[in-house]
Structure 1
């Protein structure tokens, strides 16, 4: 690819992490530019119609939405991360969309304002991930031996639980042995580890504390 790549990023954004993992797996050089989504620069608003990260700049063209970025990289770069078979590829795309739903559930979990809402969101997230437990391969990756784009999008999902587990055992991943093995494999993958900085856990804890939600209270109690 002749045009230089710039990835407009936010340090906590799980959708940015997807793109970073895919770029890294494909061995593509890129420049990562972190912005503050609470104080979006004008130049960013001029290229991002939705005002969200990630945005991949390819020369003068700005590509927005992580799913579109992943598909663009898959269509233009070597080292494919999608299956060759059209049916399996379609199935993988479905589970990639499912990851976005799971991320919305996670947001509902950490923004639940009171205990009752938190319990309901915890149950909802656990049930959502039970579907994933029923589909994923035993190990090491979603579909067996080959790392795919599905793995790239679930690395950021499971990373949340590294911080959640420090607050309490919420039981969301209980009795899901295949997810536990998959989570362990993802945590050891260099592309997944390198998708965030060393300050990510502290940044996420600070973000959670500022939600003024039920998990904010639980985190404060755990730290006391």
Structure 2
């Protein structure tokens, strides 16, 4: 049996995307966590960007093939493994889903900057930017429970790690982010309950993430006043 190897870091949301798709597809894989503050030479020799995730794909009678960038890895898994497809069959809908996946890049950045803001002023500005992107995403979500309806797809796998953060931090802070966004709120709940999403992280992920925020002196560790 060909076993894929996912090179990861326990807190990396982009690794989680790949792990979710692997779990959705029922694919056996090995997972190797590395310390991103002291990247081993063997990893730097594999990863052109020096980032995780990296997927090692065994090749018959040849060195392992190396894939990097989370969405590239997810699409390779979707195209080469069994299970339900994670994109619509219709070309236009598929392109629209890929557009919202591209939209996730800056949405992640805005959310991450909010979570890591060290003062209330910066946190307020980043929260505003993040909520503006979420409002645009709200308008694209279908009737649920997932992004495009009953079937869990690639857009769900891409956004689930971002929403996970807000089930870990103070509930008051999270409510301020998702206030007046009912479709995203329902989507978050469905993603949180999905087995592949739950199992994509280590058991103590929540504790590790909160410790990370404390270490970075994040403002969200002290609930923000209402705006």
TM-score after normalising by structure 2: 0.91
Give the CA deviation at 1:140.
Answer: 0.7
Count of aligned residue pairs for this structure pair: 218
Alignment CA distance shift 1:167-1:45 (3 Å):
farther
Of residues 174, 177, 185, the one that matches 2:179 is 174
| C-alpha displacement of 1:138 | 2.4
Q: What does residue 195 of structure 1 align with? A: 200
**Partner of 1:70 in structure 2?**
74
- Provide the C-alpha distance between the structure 1 equivalents of 2:19 and 2:190, rounded to a whole number of angstroms: 18
2: CA distance, partners of 1:57 / 1:29: 13
Question: 1:169 and 1:152, CA in 2 relative to 1: closer, same or farther beyond 3 A?
Answer: closer
**Residue matched to 2:106:** 101
Q: Give the secondary structure class of the aligned counterpart of 2:118.
A: coil
- Structure 2 Cα separation of the partners of residues 12 and 65 of structure 1: 16
Report the RMSD for the aligned CA atoms in angstroms. 1.6
* Residue 41 of structure 1: how far off its partner (Å): 1.1
Structure 2 stretches lacking a partner, 5+ long: 59-63
- 2:61 corresponds in structure 1 to none
- Paired position in structure 1 for 2:38: 39
Cα deviation, 1:104-129, whole Å, max 9, x if unaligned, reads 11121123232211110011111111
Q: How far apart are residue 98 of structure 1 and its match? A: 1.5
Q: Any unmatched runs of 5+ in structure 1?
A: none
Structure-1-length-normalised TM-score: 0.92
Counterpart of 1:120 (choices 125, 136, 156) is: 125
- Alpha-carbon distance in 2 for matches of 1:183, 1:11: 21
Look up the match of 1:159. 164
Q: What is the CA–CA distance in structure 2 between the aligned matches of 1:195 and 1:213, rounded to whole Å?
A: 25
1-structure distance, mates of 2:218, 2:80: 43
Structure 1 segment 49-60 matched on structure 2, within 5 A = 49-59=48-58, 60=64
- Output the CA distance in 2 between the equivalents of 1:43 and 1:167: 43
The structural deviation recorded for 1:145 is: 1.3
